[in-house]
Amino acid sequence: MADDQNELDDVDKLDNPDEVGNLEELDELYILRQQANAAFEDEAEVYPARPTRPFRILGMTPLQTFIIALMLLLITCLLSTFCLLVTGRVVPPFLY
């Protein structure tokens, strides 16, 4: 709360230039702040973000990876169905 009051006092001093001891100090501080802000803006331009490579599985595009996964799913379903038919666990209705 005390810091807020000090900030308000500083603002009041800026509104009344007669109460400020040295206006040149305020101008110098303003110039320093502007230079500091400009330095930070320049740093952002000097070091651009490095482009990232897309994540790839075995060098394939996402669509190719999806197609391979879908084919593996179909093969697994077919093989498991044939295994159930061969072992007699499932009997199709048209073979009665």
Task: Tell me the two tokens of residue 32.
Answer: 């320093």
pLDDT per residue as tens, the chain (96 positions): 555 555 545 545 555 555 555 666 678 888 888 888 776 665 555 566 788 887 888 899 999 999 999 999 999 999 999 999 999 999 988 887
Backbone φ and ψ of 60, nearest 5°: -95, 155
Backbone φ and ψ of 47, nearest 5°: -115, 85
Measure the CA–CA gap between 21 and 8, rounded to whole angstroms.
Answer: 17
Distances (CA, A) of 66 to 17, 59, 69, 80: 70, 13, 5, 21
